[in-house]
Structure 1
Amino acid sequence: MSSRVPSGSGSTVPFTPKPRKRTSSSRFSLNDRELNQFVGTLASVRRVKPNAILEELEQSGEGSGLLARADGPSSRERPSSSAQTQRPPSNRTSDRAPSSSSAQPPRPSSSSSRHRDVPRPSTSRAAPIPPSASSSARPTPEQESRKRNGKLPERVAELSLADGPDEVEEGRELEGVPIEIQEAWICEDLLFVLQGVEGSLIRYNDDYDPLDEEQASKGARWKVDPSLDPSLLSLVERLLPLATYFTAVEASMESRNSPEYGMVTHALSSGIRAMLKEYRVLTAQLESLFLSSPTFTLQTLYFHLHPTLHTMSLLAGLCLTLESDEAGQDTSDVSDDDDGLGGMAEELGLGGAGLKGLMKNLKAQEGLIGGGGPVLGGEVLGIICEREATMSGDPTASALHSTLLLHASQPYCRMLVRWIATGYLSDPFDEFMVKESGHITKGVLESDYTDEYWERRYTLRDGSSLTSTKVASGKGTPALGAGVPPPRPGSNRLPGGACIPGFLQPWKHKILLAGKYLNVIRECGIEVKKPNEVGEEEGDGMVVMNEPKFYKRIEDAYIYANKTLLKLMVEEQELIPHLRSMKHFFFLDQSDFLTNFLDLAGTELRKPAKATSLVKLQSLLDLAVRNPASSSSNDPYKDDLKIVMQSQGLYEWLLKIVSKTGSLTEDGELDFAMGDGHEDEGTRRSEKERTLLAIDALAFDYSVKFPLSLVISRKTITRYQLIFRFLLHLHHLESALSSMWLEQKTPSWRNNCGNEDMEKWKSRIFSLRSRMLSFVRQVLAFATGEVLEPNWRALESKLAKVQTVDQLLKDHVDFLDTCLKQCMLTTSKLLSIYAKLMTTISVFVSYQSSLNTALNKFLADPVGESEPTKANSRWTALNKFEINFNHHTKLHLDAVTYNAGSENVALLALVTRLHQTTLRI
């Protein structure tokens, strides 16, 4: 599209015409008064000498027409400034009468009264006044300075000195105005609109309210005077989105100034404000160029601002993303009517901003629990990283997001570096990936040596751990654990500090462990760096987190903390000797002290568990352990061994564990619900009625101090106790069956009584006792010789080469879990059959006195006891034992054989032993 130029030129120019070179004013045919009036018309538009435009207008013959229009509303004399201040503002518009030479319909005002309160710079908004009105006005110091410096043409400056902030034009009439003048006016308007201020030709849209926070966060919407030349309107509409983006970014920064948004958000706002400052500098330079250069055009303005348009759109998109994520929950300010007290807060003297702020914070906290709340901390960095990855093909977007990430990550970086270098965590707004449970202290460990300090005091906010990465199947959504907030509505991103930036995801466990190691070291009295020393080392420069140099810093901190703590545990705290001592006592590899203890405490152990004296048992254990003839007398940690009584039998306890209905409580004790489907109601009732003997409830405990309590924790002690009770039961049954064998070697059992039926009965008892004793010995030999000892040697070889504390913890727990599995204590079906088999043997041993009574009665009265009724009674009891033992032995062998071929290869050795025993018998 082209526009008409003076007839003398005879050619066309682009749709944004450039004024011709200035010429001397002597070529004008206007007198001084007409020239002053015309210059005053342009003074509010462009602070340059309009010689070039007037020259073209004179040559084209349009100057007189323009002057005639200038004599209209914009050039008529106004009252003096003193009189004007006394006139009501509402009459200013009505006082302007349209000129008779250019009668045009009045331009409707597009802005409501609320828009008139928006401040506008008066230097480019004042309407021209005639010389008579300006002669009485005194220039301001700023105007005098601009005049002296040559920033305003002298004549234009004199004509505009009296203009005040109240003399703002409501609009301009564009019909019949040359395109050059329209261009000058629209350039001036754009320079204000680009700063978020309404102009004369560009106003806020009718449905836009700048006081509405929700609308302001999306940016101002504009409308242009429809009478503007279409060639100019095209370029204006291309530039208006820049003003919309700018207002959206500015509103977003203003709304995120409150403290609850955290330090990362404030650092991001600082980086964005630095970019907005550059934008303002650019617009100021363009305004200066507009006021001083005669060749400045709308095309020039578009050329300089076009690159900024894309950058500002990226900033607005980022702010909109932050706002949309927070919109998942309503955390807006409390309205006047919604004060939380039914609108009676003011009457109670509780109204005002304080109460509203409190209600807002409460709503924000509720929103955070429900997956909403403010976007802060790691989530801000995560959003920037996601947008950078999504727009990686755009160099401008990559550079912008890299710069913003650098600014926003500095508070997060300081928290991270301080954590991995000193173990000190300062996170007042819950922005960091690591959270602290302040109620868990070292003092708790002194009374109850659990590993809760290690596992729960410092954890990752996303709920992940080294042993299990909690992700749900299918969509990759993080599984929700205790204390882990739900993801943001509509996304898989966790809120706040629970969102770990993508570039730190592979390092999150090392970051967590480095600080945890240093905290343990500090608790042991070893000095580590102080937080202020780390700050001095960092200096004032900005740290780039997503680069190999920073990753190496994390790795070095982790290696230092790990080696220091490992050396402390293994060398100074003598961890390996402690583990050997526990193996000696709990695994009964040298059971001479246990045999001595069972002999000394036999009477006490046959009592019910609730009637047993722990003090007496502890004294007897000390005597057995300190016996010079015992191998345990030289153990340096024998004083750490204690006697405890469990509340349940071993196999009932184990069945509830493997049924997966129980868990460890905070106190480290096993708290289990009843098994599902493994026992009927009658069995459970009989267990409650059955008296638990001390021998079945007996267990050892072991006490260690911090930091060894992190390795020898309550959970590991529980595993040791399960293995110990399993071995103790086998030892007790072996001892009881051996005692039964010694008792059955007496003459009353060995001598032939002359009754074939009784001799057959005694022979069957001998055979059953021998089979039971052989079974118990085979299981005991398998557990000690082919499970515990080989696994212990494997653990020792691993501990000799261990490099990290967590690997040490993992190896220790894996060793215990492997022992439990290979001892048949973790498979529900196998354990159930084994428990019934052990119960049958135990009842048979306890039935020895009844067998002796039946034999003695027969020897005293052979004829009477040979009656079919009494003989059948003896055989009925024996047959029940044989049937039960044979049935459960066969089931057990089948179950062991099946598990050895499918799940537990180590049981092949037990299968071989049991087959050989069966064939031999």
Structure 2
Amino acid sequence: MNQYTPSQINRLQEDPAFMESNQKNRGATYSSPRDLHHSQEFTMDHQDRPFTPQSAFDAVELIGFDSEDTSSVHYSCTAVEAPIAQKIPAPLLSEINDMSIQQALIIKDILFTLLGLEGHYIQYSKTYNRSSINSRVFGPDFKIARNLDISLKTVTKRIIRIGKYYSGLTSFTQIYNDAAHGKLVQAFCHATATFFKQYIKILIDLEHEFHHNSKFNINTLDQILYQDVANKMSHMYSIAIAIHELNEERQNLPREELIDTRHRLETDMYTEKMRVCKGGLVLTIIRDRISAFKGDAISYQFLTALYDEVSVEYLSMLNKWLTEGRIEDPFDEFMIRVAKIPKKLQSVFQKNSDFYWNELYSIKEDGLLEQFRDTKIQNKIISTGKYLTMFKTCTGLHDFQYLRETLEGVNSLNAPDLNLKIDLFATRANKMLLKVFFEGYKFPNLVETFQTIFLLEDSSRIDSFMDSAFQDLKRNKFKISTSKVSRQYNEQFGSLLNTDCSTSSSKLAERNQRFTITVENFFKATEELISRKGSDTSNYDFKKMLQEHNSSEEVRNEVGKGHRSGTNDRVDDATFLSVDVTVPLSFPLNFVLNRQTSYQYETLFKFLFMLKFVTKQVESNWHDINTSTIWTEKTFPPKVQKWILRCRMLHSRILAFVTHLQSYVMYDVVESNYEEVCKLLDEYARQLSLAELGTNVIQSDAVLNTKLSSKYGMNTIFDERINSRKTTTITTTATATATATARATNESLSIHDLKVKLETYTTSILSDALLTRSETLLCVREMFYFIIQFQTYTIQMKKMLVYIHPGLYETFSKELPGKFNKPMDDDSVQQRLEYMDESFFLRYQKFGELLTYFLSTIRKVGERENRKLLELSDRLESCFPE
């Protein structure tokens, strides 16, 4: 018995029934320190008003556990009801003048308080409510007897905060150690329970010292607790309170505040907030505390170890995603969310759709760790698992065991090589999927096929199609048989495939191409595209455009709705301006050549087809003007011959314009850009042929040929570098060089870069071909509408020449009496001559104005934005110097 502990404090009244009942129990009875004298006065830490506690009638019974030790505070805290037992109230501190006795009494109470219990002189505040979850998690505030010596009270106040922390953490563990709060909160609860085992052991040792060491005092108790317990307990308590407060805040928020109304399926970030505090939110709370205590080495070390312990499950999910493309997240804690596609959109978001894979996974904004705030890191993480999943889908594999790789995942979220490991796993995933594209699906051949189909690389079949369908293509699309035109196209492009049973991506693309005549013509569709998103076609919502494009009806054989058969033919309704070719691609090819890139290919096809058709039409009319019997008639009067010469000159200028423009687009724009794409694809193919399918991802020291300590020491790297140099041989040097070369080779392979460069390729052609800005598209439209109308004008003037020449009129009226039956009197002929002069002058003047407008526009845009257009401007200005 400690010399400072008076024996009369703990004595019991000798009730026979009580003594008889306790003889049956193993161990000895021990008086509870909870009973206080009814006149004992207490005070809160922050107030001095008197407090009179109620008398209690509890007897303490020591419970026998596996251990034989019954002297600990923990055992002495188990109470059973024994109403027949009566206790002697504790003495009043005001009656105890001996400081050593007061110290012994208060130390005994402190040992109870450190377990979150009340003592004789330290009791719960009145504000503590056991039925309140908040009160339990925050822990009780204790009040200390007023008459305790001030020096003892100061130390006691500092110590009993640990009891508050212990009680709060115990209640936190009881409430939050549940599946509803996720694995990470449970891991924190487990870390707390592990710490409590050490804490209880310390208390048992302190109690032993209190009973058997005569030199033990309250300052020693304070010092031991401060060194071994207080700092760690304070950190864990603060983290628990932060988790609880955030959890309470989230549960009390209305649903509309949890959901970001700006969120759409096509956004990259998932913005809806979690209802409870779990996952990354827990790690963020710990991480914030680590940042706040970076200057405290002891706290930093403890919090870092706690962070690693709590993040084990999160790290496991991250490694499964990076190595296998698999998400095991039963409690929705991981940073990646798998989209739940609404039923009404399931028809659009199919597994074989590029939209499906683009929107299937998204990064959760809520609880995103600081390490992953950089969008580049986010893209690498989300693409790594996605590509692995796509690889398994393409190959039908469920795992990668057959590759016999050595994969060492991320060891810690605080590891210095975290970003390096993510880069290595991203490189591995990119290489595996690219192998599928280039060696399995022969992706370069597919790009070559697109070049042929859409960009008219080999135009022989397109030329044959134009020749066979020329008359229908230049007519009103509502007055022709569109099925006939489609059949003529399929005959040209399908004849070579009828006997080809190849399943290669290029042959499948040729076989799947679909030719249609759409209601909306090329210029109108492109104008709408530009008006919605300015000049930046790369940011346009192509998903919406696709839906509208697919929903717009095709022109059928019958007259289109809303178009009367008697309506005059308009340039807008010319068939060749509404041709459309699509090539539906299946997964995974449509992931790289996605809908946006395909739509740009289709837009370019419409423009190139129009340009080629107009050039062909101008060349045909030019040949007619210079060789037909009507235009070359020698007996026309000089005035008419001069008119014919002027008409030929204007037509020659138009032909020069379309020829230069077609040459610029086909050679300077399409061909030059395609050469860069070919170089890119060849480089990808070369690197992939040198690379193995599997990849070893090991510790960063093996990759970088530098040794990083597993404990992330500060100087170990230099020591191990020096040691490694002593044992380095020529063989290891060669191996390291080969590894570094292979790694440098693999790092340049990226699915995303390939997609971006293909999109850039088509976007650059659109921009260089004047199709991405409203002002350039307008000048192209006005110029080509004039050229198309001028071809119609020359055909009309050919008939007019017959009406002003009596000899020609007599010949043709006999051969075609139904078409040449107008009067040939002098007044009528004179009126026709005047009309020919006036109409031609207007068209000659119009062409000059349009040419000036065209040149000034492309010059202005070329100097401001696109230097490529200056080449076309210089070429046309040299051709039309006036």
Q: Under a length normalisation based on structure 2, what TM-score does the superposition of the two structures give?
A: 0.74
Contact 1:587 1:724 in 2 (8 A): yes
**Cα separation, 1, equivalents of 2:71 and 2:631:** 130
CA distance in 1, matches of 2:199, 2:67: 26
Which letter maps to 1:232? L
Cα offsets for 1:15-69 (capped at 9, x unmatched): xxx987x9xxxxxxxxxxxxxxx9641336xxxxxxxxxxxxxxxxxxxxxxxxx
Displacement of 1:285 in angstroms is 2.4
Deviation at 1:380, TM superposition (A): 2.1
Contact 2:180 2:331 in 1 (8 A): yes
Pair 1:380-2:287 in alignment: no
The 1:161–1:770 alpha-carbon spacing in structure 2 relative to 1, beyond 3 Å, is: closer
Which residue of 688, 693, 708 maps to 2:589?
A: 708
Cross-structure match for 1:908? 870
Alignment-mate amino acid for residue 860 of structure 2:
Y
C-alpha spacing 1:900/1:808, structure 2 compared with 1 (3 Å): same
Match of 2:366 among 478, 483, 495: 495
The one-letter amino acid paired with 2:764 is T
| Deviation at residue 500 of structure 1 after TM alignment | 5.9
Name structure 2 gaps, 5 residues minimum. 23-31, 262-269, 534-539, 552-566, 685-748, 810-823
**Cross-structure match for 1:456:** 359
> Given the superposition, is the C-alpha separation of residues 823 and 168 from structure 1 closer, same or farther in structure 2, using an over 3 Å criterion?
farther
| Equivalent of 1:317 in 211, 215, 238 | 238
Match of 2:177 in 1: 257
Q: 2:323 is matched with which residue?
A: 421
Is the partner of 1:748 in helix, strand or coil?
A: coil
**In the alignment, structure 1 residue 863 sits paired with structure 2 residue 801:** no
Supply the distance in 1 between the matched residues of 2:760 and 2:433 (Cα, whole angstroms). Answer: 21
Q: Write the mapping of 1:156-167 to structure 2, written as runs, cut at 5 A.
A: 167=86
Query: Structure 1 pair 144/619, CA: closer, same or farther in 2 (3 Å)?
Result: closer
Aligned to 2:525: 653
Instruction: Tell me the alpha carbon deviations over residues 441-489 of structure 1, each in whole angstroms, 9 at most, x when there is no partner.
Output: 999799896421331222333xxxxxxxxxxxxxxxxxxxxxxxxxxxx
- Secondary structure at the residue paired with 1:717? helix
Distance across 1 between alignment mates of 2:568 and 2:369: 49
Q: Helix, strand or coil: the match of 2:362?
A: strand
Partners of 1:117 and 1:253 lie apart in 2 by 31
SS in 2 for 1:196: coil
**Higher mean displacement: 844-853 or 178-187:** 844-853
Give distance in 1, aligned partners of 2:380 and 2:238: 34
Distance 2:433 2:66 in 1: 74
Q: What are the within-5 Å matches in structure 2 for residues 128-143 of structure 1?
A: 142=64
**Distance in 1 separating the partners of 2:869 and 2:501:** 34
Q: Does 1:590 align with 2:458?
A: yes
- Partner SS, residue 585 of structure 1: helix
What displacement does 1:204 show?
1.8
The verdict on how the C-alpha distance between 1:846 and 1:408 changes in structure 2, with shifts beyond 3 A counting, is farther
Letter in 1 for 2:527: L
**Aligned-partner residue type, residue 293 of structure 2:** M
Answer yes or no: is the 8 Å Cα contact 1:433–1:500 preserved in 2. no
Q: Distance in 2 between matches of 1:884 and 1:599?
A: 30
- Displacement of 1:232: 0.7
- Contact 2:803–2:829 (CA under 8 A) maintained in structure 1: no
Matched, 1:625 2:588: no
The one-letter code sitting in structure 1 at the alignment partner of 2:648 is F
Give the Å deviation of 1:576.
Answer: 0.6
Structure 1 unaligned regions, length at least 5: 1-17, 23-37, 45-74, 86-92, 99-103, 124-139, 333-359, 462-493, 674-685
Q: 1:506 to 1:602 in 2, by over 3 A?
A: closer
Alignment partner for residue 392 of structure 1, among 294, 303, 318? Answer: 294
Change (3 A) 1:364 1:516: closer
Q: For 1:899 and 1:598, how far apart are their aligned partners in 2?
A: 33
Once the two structures are overlaid, the 10-residue window that deviates more, 859-868 or 411-420, is 859-868
Shift of 1:302: 0.6
1:664 aligns with 2:566: no
- The separation in 2 between residues aligned to 1:284 and 1:543, in whole angstroms, is 36
Instruction: Show the counterpart of 1:841.
Output: 787
1:219–1:121 distance in 2 versus 1, CA, 3 Å: farther
Corresponding residue for 1:579?
Answer: 447
Rg comparison, structure with higher value: 1
Corresponding letter in the other structure for 1:81 = F
| One-letter identity of the residue aligned with 1:908 | L
- Pick 1 or 2: higher relative contact order, CA cutoff 8 A, min separation 6: 2
Residues 1:790 and 2:672 aligned together: yes
Output the CA distance in 2 between the equivalents of 1:83 and 1:779.
115
Aligned-partner Cα distance in 1 for 2:65–2:871: 104
Distance in 2 (alpha carbons) for counterparts of 1:863 and 1:785: 53
What is the one-letter code of the residue matched to 1:387?
Answer: R
Q: Does the CA-based 8 Å contact 2:669-2:765 persist in structure 1?
A: yes
Distance 2:438 2:670 in 1: 22
* Change beyond 3 A, Cα 1:502–1:553: closer
- 1:109 Cα shift? 9.8
* 2:384 equivalent to 1:514: yes
Please state how far the C-alpha of 1:275 moved relative to its aligned partner.
1.9
1:173 aligns with 2:92: yes
Indicate the residue corresponding to 1:639 in structure 2.
511
Q: Distance in 2 between matches of 1:322 and 1:712?
A: 46
Q: Shift in Å at residue 731 of structure 1? A: 0.8
User: Which whole-Å deviations, capped at 9, do the CAs of 1:651-701 have from their partners, x for residues lacking one?
Assistant: 22222222334622268446699xxxxxxxxxxxx9999863331111222
Q: Distance in 2 between matches of 1:763 and 1:449?
A: 60
Q: CA deviation at 1:558?
A: 2.8
User: Residue 297 and residue 587 in structure 1: after superposition, are their counterparts in 2 closer, same or farther (change >3 A)?
Assistant: same
Paired AA for residue 783 in structure 1 = V
Distance in 2 separating the partners of 1:495 and 1:447: 27
Counterpart code for 1:720: Y
Query: Which residue of structure 2 aligns with residue 893 of structure 1?
Result: 855
**In structure 2, do the counterparts of structure 1 residues 238 and 708 end up closer, same or farther at CA, with 3 Å as the change threshold?**
same
Q: Distance in 2 between matches of 1:162 and 1:726?
A: 94
User: Is the Cα–Cα contact under 8 Å of residues 517 and 575 in structure 2 kept in the other structure?
Assistant: yes
Among candidates 305, 309, 330, match of residue 403 of structure 1: 305
After superposition, the C-alpha distances for 1:611-646 in whole angstroms (9 at most, x for unaligned) are 665654343224323678xxx999856434331333
* Residue in structure 2 matched with residue 778 of structure 1 by the alignment: 660
Please report how far the alpha carbon of residue 781 of structure 1 lies from its aligned counterpart in structure 2 after TM superposition.
0.4
Say which SS state the counterpart of residue 427 (structure 1) adopts. coil
Instruction: Work out the CA distance in 2 between the residues paired with 1:118 and 1:560.
Output: 70
Contact 1:586 1:720 in 2 (8 A): yes
Change in CA separation of 1:318 and 1:437 when aligned onto 2, cut-off 3 Å: same
Q: Once the 2 structures are TM-superposed, how far is the Cα of residue 437 of structure 1 from its aligned partner?
A: 2.8
Q: 1:365 to 1:76 in 2, by over 3 A?
A: farther
AA partner of residue 867 (structure 2) = V
Q: Give 3-state SS (helix, strand or coil) of 1:568's partner.
A: helix
SS, match of residue 414 in structure 2: coil
Among all aligned residue pairs of Structure 1 and Structure 2, give the percentage whose two residues are the same amino acid: 19
Q: Which residue number in structure 2 is paired with residue 813 of structure 1?
A: 759
Which letter maps to 1:771? Answer: R
Q: How many residues align?
A: 742
Distance 1:363 1:455, change over 3 A: closer
CA contact (8 A) 2:58 2:83 kept: no
| Distance in 1 of aligned mates of 2:582 and 2:845 | 38
Q: Normalised by the size of structure 1, how large is the TM-score?
A: 0.71
Change (3 A) 1:165 1:771: farther
Partner SS state of residue 706, structure 1: coil
Asked if the contact 1:836/1:888 (under 8 Å) is kept, the reply is yes
3-state SS of paired residue (1:731): helix
| Contact persistence 2:110–2:119 (CA under 8 A) | yes
Distance in structure 2 (CA, Å) of the matches to 1:218 and 1:40: 36
Could you tell me how far 1:78 is from its partner in structure 2? 6.6
Q: How is 1:173-322 mapped onto 2 (pairs within 5 angstroms)?
A: 173-177=92-96, 178-307=98-227, 308-322=229-243
Deviations 1:796-847 (A, max 9, x none): 1112223222222222112111111111111222222222222222222233
Q: Retained in 2: the 8 A contact 1:586–1:721?
A: yes
